[in-house]
Structure 1
């Protein structure tokens, strides 16, 4: 099972294996506070796509289409699927402010499907 959580939130006992899935390290978060098990930046959207999206709500539907196309060709997705088989819960950590409109939501849905 994959869940999405902001890296700024406090770690919880039920987080399972914690993976940061942002290309950039989140501002103001120390490595100790993040409590990461792994940083898989290769699975994040490309720099070009991330900059185009800019977390703007009107772009989200098109962002989702484009990001899914990137994921189809991304070998890092195999690593996440492997982690999903190895751990009952994998928490995908993101730095985005909006918990509903971000690449972590798309990624979790992609992995579930």
Structure 2
């Protein structure tokens, strides 16, 4: 536990002195985004130096998404990948269905690229 605290303190100090040293801030930003932490909380933590700003988090996610799409396109063109498709249905039910607030049924298809 003591090592984790030291690591966190060192990362916060380094990120305040150098903007390119933001390993902990970026990691925490991704984690907070994945857990749907409110924007005001992320903004407060950013001002404390604990994590990246909301804009930086979104820019990083967009950049990583574009990179992943590019990688999948390149791999798909090599014919060294197999693609498996699966159709699935999701029932998004509500606690109290009314005429205005009905449950919804979503149909989706997922794909998985498998290295051959």
Higher relative contact order, structure no. (Cα contacts within 8 Å, ≥ 6 residues apart): 1
Larger Rg: 2
The structure with the largest strand share of the pair is 2
Q: TM-score, normalised by structure 1?
A: 0.29
When normalised by structure 2's length, the TM-score is: 0.28
